[in-house]
Amino acid sequence: MNKEDKHIVLFDMDGTLTESRQVIENNMLESLKELLQISNVEVGVVTGSDYDYVKQQLGLLLSESSMCQKIHVLPCNGTKYYTPPDSQSDLYQLSYDEDMSMLLGKENMRSLMQMLIERQSRFSYALNDLTGHFISYRGSMINWCPIGRNASEEQRNNFIQLDNSYEPSLRLRELRALGYKLTELGLDSLLTVKLGGDTSFDVYPTGWDKRYCLKYFKGYKLWFVGDRCKENGNDYEIFQEVSETGFAFETDSPERTCEIIEDIKIKIYKSNYNTAPMPS
C-alpha cells in the first residue's frame, strides 16, 4: 500500500485518550481497536510526556497484539520517536531523540534551570500542598509542575481549583512572567513556553512543538485530536497545521474523543469507498 493511501490519526494523551495522568479505559481501547481494523489506518500518540508516562497510562494499548504494530509513540512533542514493533513479540524501540542542551549550550541551560527553580520557590507561597518532582528535564524539553508530578489526584484537583479561582488563572499569570524572564535571559527567541496539561508548563526550543512529529508521516493523510488547541495550549500549533491539510478535532474528554473516533471512521470509510477502483 502506498503512503498516499494511508491515514495517520494522531492523538494527544492526557485529556484526550485518558483522563489526566490516568490509565486508558476499556471503552477507549475498543474505539481505537475498531479504528485500527481499517486496513489503511495507523495511529500516533503525540504527547508532552516522556515515554515512561506513556507506558504507565497506555500500557494496555501498547501491549495489545492486534494493535501495537500500527501504533507510533511520540513522546516529548514527537522529538522522541518509538517506532511500532515489527512483530507482536517485539518491544518498542527508540529510533529518534533530540537534545535541547546541545542547542542551548551549558550556560544557557544553567540559567534556565536556575530561573525555574526561583519561580518554583515564589510559586510555592500560593500553594497549600507541595509534593515532589517539580522540574523534569526530558532531553528535548523541560516540564515544570508547581504542585509536583508526585501529587495525588486530590492534590491535583485542589491545585486546579486554586488555579481557576483567579482571573486570569495563576498559570496564565505565570506564563506571562516566564516570557519576561526568558527575555531578561536573552532566551526568548530560542525557547517557547506552553501550558502543559492541567498543572504544568512545557519549555522547549522554538519549533519543537507537536508539529515536529509530522516529519515522520510525509505523504500520509493527516488527522489530529487534542484537548489543548487554544493559543496557550500545547496542541495549538499542530491543530492549526493539520487543519490546513487534513482534519483536526478539539476534544474536552476521553468520552468525547470516542465520539470523534466514530466520526473519523465514517469519513475514512467514505474516502476509501470513493477512491476504490471500479470493478472491471
**Which residues are part of the catalytic machinery?**
12, 14
- Tell me, what DSSP letter sits at residue 105? -
Grid cell 527508540 is found at 94
- First-to-last alpha carbon distance for the chain, in angstroms, is 20
- Give which of 235, 268, 234 is closest to 249, Cα–Cα: 235
Residue 87 φ/ψ, nearest 5 degrees: -140, 170
Give the E-state strand segments of the chain in sequence order.
Answer: 7-11, 41-46, 71-74, 80-83, 93-97, 135-137, 142-144, 191-196, 200-205, 221-226, 247-250
